[in-house]
Amino acid sequence: MPDTAGVKVLVYHWVDPDPGGRLREWGLTPEAFEAQMRALAEGGYQVLSLQEVLEVVQGERPPSPKTVALTFDDGYRGHLDHVLPVLERFRFRATFFLVSDRMGGTNTWDARHGDRPRSLMGWNDAAALAARGMELGSHSRTHPFLTNLSESEMENEIRGSKETIEDRLGGPVRFFSYPHGLLDSRCRRLVASSGYAGACSSQFGGNDLGADLFQLRRSQITYYDTAWSFTFKVRTGFSIREWTRTRVAELLPRFVPGPRGVAS
């Protein structure tokens, strides 16, 4: 399987010795995470910042298939212990998306699933990440289902979180990550008009020249990824299941006769 075109943006949630119960899929053990970062380094991958991904998408930077970007949603406290030291060892940069009104709290939006709450980083932790060269983005104020909100509530989550993080940390917030991966045309428009340079969705795929800056594709890395399935995601931007589904959807019309030629 060769590397396909476009920058692959990987998305992680927590990295923890206890990856969880019902939500285990979204966690990685520190050992698994370190093995994946080593695989990227040994595979000769270049890790880009999201700003550099935008440059590729806008034709300002030559595309290379051996490029990835690393993102972390929700802002878990454990990133300071289990992610930052590994990134620094391999000299990788990453973007961490924060939930601005839950800083220092827990992932209350996941409480309904019954797993133990996970601690989120505080403002000092976020400042420490920024001081080490990591990018901080917004993942809304409260991690709602954005598409269920009124326009003003949506704007408060999208624009308000950017302002809060900028006020608290003193640097620009250039990127947004849609909570639960959910967006519609209103969300996209509000993100674009709130001063963000780009935004990350949870749709699989690579990001090639001309991709939507406010709907960058990402590959979700899960607890169940093996070395092989991780490599597949890095090379194609898809999980094996999504890749198969997409290919079947592309190929099927060629084999199934359409309505063309049917007498009316």
Q: Which of 41/182 has CB closer to Zn ion?
A: 182
Cα–Cα nearest to 72, from 86, 81, 83: 83
Q: In terms of DSSP H, where are the helices of 74-184?
A: 79-82, 84-90, 123-131, 151-169
Q: Name the residue with tokens 């620094």.
A: 88
Locate 96 and state its tokens.
Answer: 């961490």
Q: Which residues contact 37 (CB under 8 A, 6 or more apart)?
A: 86, 87, 89, 90, 92
Q: Which of 49/71 has CB closer to Zn ion?
A: 71
Stretch that binds Zn ion, among 63-71, 74-82, 184-192, 243-251 (CB under 5 A): 74-82
Work out whether 74 is an interface residue with Zn ion (CB under 5 A): yes
> Which of 73, 110, 157, 225 lies at the binding interface for Zn ion (CB under 5 A)?
73
CA end-to-end span of the chain, whole Å?
A: 45
**Closest separation between CB of residue 107 and Zn ion, Å?**
8
Q: Which of 176/230 has CB closer to Zn ion?
A: 176
SS3 221: coil
- Give, in degrees to the nearest 5, the angle at Cα 7 between 79 and 222: 40
Question: Rounded distance, CA 174 to CA 159, Å?
Answer: 11
> What does DSSP say about strands 198-200 and 175-177: parallel, antiparallel, or unpaired?
parallel
Stretch that binds Zn ion, among 29-37, 52-60, 65-73, 87-95 (CB under 5 A): 65-73
Q: Which of 73/135 has CB closer to Zn ion?
A: 73
**Closest separation between CB of residue 262 and Zn ion, Å?**
47
Q: Which of 74/135 has CB closer to Zn ion?
A: 74
**Closest separation between CB of residue 139 and Zn ion, Å?**
6
**Closest separation between CB of residue 73 and Zn ion, Å?**
4
**Closest separation between CB of residue 180 and Zn ion, Å?**
7
How many residues bind Zn ion (CB under 5 A)? The answer is: 2
Could you list the residues that contact Zn ion (CB under 5 A)? 73-74
